Amino acid sequence: MSSCKTIQLTQFISLKKRPATPTVHLKISKPRHGRAFVHPDYAPLGRLGKGAYGDVIKAIHLKTQVHVAIKRALREATATESSQDDEIAMLKALIHPNIIKCEEVLMPDKDIVLELCRMTLGDYIDSKVDVVPVKRLIQQMCLGVKFIHEMGRAHFDLKPGNILLTSDHVIKIADFGCSRDMVEDVRPLEVKVGTLPYCAPEILLTEGGYSCMVDVWSLALCIYELVIKDRLFAFAMDDMEQLQEIFTIFGTPDTSTWKHSEEYFYPLPSTLQIPQNIQRHDHSFSSLDNDLRDLCLKMLTMNQMDRIEMEDVIRHRFIK
Ligand SMILES: Nc1ncnc2c1ncn2[C@@H]1O[C@H](COP(=O)(O)OP(=O)(O)OP(=O)(O)O)[C@@H](O)[C@H]1O
Ligand SMILES: [Mg+2]
């Protein structure tokens, strides 16, 4: 049984409680109820998924008979229009074999027609059957994220539900609803972004003091989940609980862990219960292959300044 102690805090904004894995979007808007899909070129075939921004439906292109996925924003245009535009711009800029392809955008609602995938990485993990060598999937996931970063962008919501697999088991990174052009876009970052169990500590501990390095953290958790077939972090209901889970595995950071970035993180929030009985990562990662364990731990380095970059991830001996 672990004992906890409370330590001092300055300022911290906490997220409200939420269920297991939805994405946090701070733009609040009302749903556009009952907006049926009607388009002369496509016939709807059913719903594929539902996310924070709206529905994704399966459809058939009537002329070519090709099946597609169509992502539709179900909210008032005023609130989500800019993020929908951002997602479209992102998809058009990111042309890569491991990134979902945008076939076209349907006007006037800007519904996004995407290449159809077979399942999410989450579904694949839940099936508990390794049809393809995990290493091949991991390589593709890393190449996709490396490309996003190389193009000066960040995804900001990597999780198994946003990584798709085609029927040929090709990885396609999807859902660019939270993503950002880190070079051209000068707007301040959202205070909170992403999905709680996959959030890097800097998202939980700062108000927008994060970078594309949060993708490296989230990607490592997706890799861990793919290999172990279980989430590393699963039970937290809010930011504080999530930090406790992180500190339980990786140890509570001190000023030496946060060197060069102490100003962001110290003192830690007073509502944080610091775990005393540290489980440490050795136990959680012991069943991983040595090279993969080394890579995952480099990707899960708590201080973003010391975390491995994607460029070096793809050069790591496990990936090469
Ligand atoms: N191209 C596709 N092919 C097949 N299924 C898809 C495709 N795109 C999305 N989906 C399904 O729809 C779900 C939601 O899509 P997406 O993640 O893009 O939407 P979202 O509203 O941004 O989701 P969230 O905010 O919950 O992450 C996916 O998890 C997946 O199940
Ligand atoms: Mg999603």
192 in the same domain as 223: yes
Ordered alpha helix ranges (H), the chain: 77-93, 121-127, 134-150, 201-205, 213-228, 239-250, 262-265, 281-285, 290-299, 310-313
Percent of the chain with pLDDT over 90: 60
pLDDT at 131: 87
We report the CATH number of the domain holding residue 59 as 3.30.200.20
Question: Would you say residue 258 lies in a domain?
Answer: yes
Comparing 233 with 273, the larger pLDDT belongs to: 233
191 in the same domain as 59: no
Percent of the chain with pLDDT over 70: 80
Of the residues 86, 111, 157, 239, which is catalytic? Answer: 157
148 in the same domain as 53: no
188 in the same domain as 100: no
Q: Write down which residue in 85, 115, 145 finishes a domain.
A: 115
In this model, does residue 92 exceed pLDDT 90? Answer: yes
127 CB-near residues (< 8 Å, 6+ apart) = none
280 in the same domain as 132: yes
What's the pTM? 0.88
Whose CA is closest to atom 19 on ligand 1?
51
Q: Write down which residue in 115, 140, 172 finishes a domain.
A: 115
pLDDT at 28: 33
218 in the same domain as 69: no
Weakest-pLDDT range from 21-25, 170-174, 270-274: 21-25
286 in the same domain as 219: yes
264 in the same domain as 182: yes
pLDDT in tens, 261-278: 666 666 677 777 666 655
Collapsing DSSP states into helix, strand and coil, what is residue 85?
helix
139 in the same domain as 57: no
Question: Would you say residue 30 lies in a domain?
Answer: no
Comparing 111 with 6, the larger pLDDT belongs to: 111
Comparing 252 with 161, the larger pLDDT belongs to: 161
pLDDT (mean) for 231-249: 91
pLDDT in tens, 179-227: 999 999 988 888 889 999 999 999 998 888 899 999 999 999 999 999 9
Q: How far apart, in whole angstroms, are the C-alpha atoms of residue 17 and residue 23?
A: 12
Q: How far apart, in whole angstroms, are the C-alpha atoms of residue 315 and residue 320?
A: 6
Cβ atoms of 80 and 128 closer than 8 Å: no
131 in the same domain as 108: no
87 in the same domain as 143: no
pLDDT (mean) for 94-120: 96
Question: Would you say residue 5 lies in a domain?
Answer: no
Q: Write down which residue in 68, 86, 115 finishes a domain.
A: 115
Collapsing DSSP states into helix, strand and coil, what is residue 166?
coil
Under the banding of pLDDT at 50, 70 and 90, the label for residue 297 is very high
φ and ψ of 295, to 5 deg: -65, -50
Specify whether 157 is catalytic. Answer: yes
* Ligand 1 midpoint to CA 307 (Å): 28
We report the CATH number of the domain holding residue 289 as 1.10.510.10
CA dihedral of residues 275, 278, 283, 289 (deg, nearest 10):
90
Question: Would you say residue 165 lies in a domain?
Answer: yes
In this model, does residue 115 exceed pLDDT 90? Answer: yes
Top mutation candidate among 102, 162, 168, 171 for ligand 1, by most atoms within 8 Å of CB: 162
Whose CA is closest to atom 16 on ligand 1?
175
Q: Which domain holds residue 208?
A: 119-315
pLDDT at 242: 94
148 in the same domain as 79: no
Question: Would you say residue 166 lies in a domain?
Answer: yes
Overall domain count for the chain:
2
pLDDT in tens, 34-84: 568 889 999 999 999 987 777 999 999 999 999 999 999 765 544 456 778
Please give the number of the atom of ligand 1 that sits closest to the Cα of 118: 4
